[in-house]
Structure 1
Amino acid sequence: MTKDWLRWHQDYDSPNSSLARRLRVVQHDLRRALTEAPHDAHGRRRLISICAGDGRDVLPILAEHDGGRTIEALLIERDPTLSQRARTAAIGLGLPRTDVRTADAGATDTYLHIQPAHLLLTCGVFGNITINDVGRTIAMLHTLVLADGIVIWTRGRTDDGHDPSHDIRACFAEHGFIEMSFTSPADARFRVGMHRLTARPATVPPMPPGTRMFSFI
């Protein structure tokens, strides 16, 4: 990876930046998803955040929701500095059911012993991988998301005005998801989508070991 992700995260600190605005949309959608996602027989939900960064899109919302008592969260972040920040934030917010792992979210081996989630975030991912990897990742979400589970994702339009988010929306539809919301401000490049998996096969093969779901470019 060539991008300086620590420097990239600094844009969150500018309240009017595109990244800060995107964060507010993701958090708004997550609040909704935490009330509308399915849950188990005990009213608990599992959440997975892929390429979670320092967890600022997820952790404050879990604390606000119910102190994380009914949410078992797994945050996966490859950068050790960012993952440690997320770990420290989770402790500070009193979220004992949150697990932050320093691991490669693009490698299927990372998910071999992880149960599918009721809610999954893949924010800041699709804009950093090839379109082929986007399609492969969405196709493999059946192994990570339960029936009626919700996925929140982000993508930005490119400098030449092309908007790849429309292709991503079509790919979600092709793989059994229905769109719950789509935010595309006219004055910003970011897009935020929320989809529900309504056509999960009755039998889903396990995540194949030793396979790459995506690689950052």
Structure 2
Amino acid sequence: MVAVVTVANMDWAAWHDDYDDPGSVLARRLAVVQDVIRAALDGCPQGPLAVVSMCAGQGRDLIGVLATHPRRADVRARLVELDPRSAAVAEAAARAAGLGGIEVVRGDAGRMRHYRELAPADLVLVCGVFGNVTDADVLRSVEACARLCRVGGTVVWTRHRRPPDLVPQIRGWFSACGFEEAYASDAAAGFGVGAHRLVVAPASRQDADRIFSFVESKQLRLA
């Protein structure tokens, strides 16, 4: 049995502080994620766009891009974040940027129920998730992304490169679920960022509500 992490176990608001250090791994990764999001939005068809973000944190990735992106008015986005302080920061940032199409939902991002209303989405963000869940839940999340994403839509995801390095396996799982790779960061970067475009619609089936659960780092080695 794996232990589910609660807000009490981790100060997620303080965890975001490294983003403010330009030399940190998180700050460098964020810059890459934003570039990939920007490219994905640039390639979307004209008209309304739907975006969902799992474990959105303070929303720095999407909000940071939409603040100046020409498609900003086309986007309806749902950011799901359990930590109330991080969610409040995201809400304030969206208001400050004038992004009325962004909704921040304070809830368990590992529940499919939060995303179905906007699915199939043009852009699905799974950043900061894969390093905090079991390998089985990473695979389950990839499979869920195939049902949350429209054909032609893009999933952007992240994962650390510490051993055991799961990034090659994740890339393979996306391919097996009907995606083609649009971007993969170099291993030398010290972090993993990927973007995959859905090209084959998944077989229709009833989704389970639970996608993933955060677990404590020591449990990740045992699960």
Fold-level similarity (TM above 0.5) = yes
Whether 1:53 and 2:57 are equivalent positions in the alignment is yes
Go from structure 1 to structure 2 and tell me whether the alpha carbon gap of 1:10 and 1:27 turns closer, same or farther (over 3 Å shift).
Answer: same
| Other structure's SS at 2:14 match | helix
C-alpha RMSD of matched pairs (Å): 1.6
Equivalences, count: 208
Name the structure 2 match of 1:184: 186
Of 180, 188, 213, 1:215 maps to 213
1:71-130 per-position Cα deviation (integer Å, ceiling 9, x unaligned): 111111111111111001100000011111101110223234333211111000001000
Output the amino acid matched with 1:178.
E
Name the structure 1 match of 2:158: 154
Name the structure 2 match of 1:170: 172
Go from structure 1 to structure 2 and tell me whether the alpha carbon gap of 1:45 and 1:112 turns closer, same or farther (over 3 Å shift).
Answer: closer
TM-score if structure 2 supplies the norm length?
Answer: 0.88
Output the amino acid matched with 1:80.
P
Name the structure 2 match of 1:69: 73
Of 38, 63, 77, 1:31 maps to 38
| Amino-acid identity (%) | 42
How much has 1:140 moved relative to structure 2?
A: 1.6
Output the amino acid matched with 2:139.
G
Gaps of 5+ in 2: 216-223
Whether 1:119 and 2:126 are equivalent positions in the alignment is no
Contact 1:123/1:154 (8 A) holds in 2: yes
Partners of 1:11 and 1:33 lie apart in 2 by: 26
1:180-208 per-position Cα deviation (integer Å, ceiling 9, x unaligned): 1101251x43110000000113x633533
Partners of 2:149 and 2:71 lie apart in 1 by: 23
Name the structure 2 match of 1:84: 88
Contact 1:122/1:151 (8 A) holds in 2: yes
Partners of 2:102 and 2:113 lie apart in 1 by: 20
Contact 1:54/1:86 (8 A) holds in 2: yes
> Which runs of 4 or more aligned residues in structure 1 lie more than 6 Å from their structure 2 counterparts after TM superposition?
none
Contact 2:122/2:150 (8 A) holds in 1: yes
Partners of 2:37 and 2:110 lie apart in 1 by: 22
How much has 1:145 moved relative to structure 2?
A: 0.6
| Other structure's SS at 1:26 match | helix
Partners of 2:164 and 2:124 lie apart in 1 by: 26
TM-score if structure 1 supplies the norm length?
Answer: 0.90
Whether 1:200 and 2:201 are equivalent positions in the alignment is yes
| Other structure's SS at 1:100 match | strand
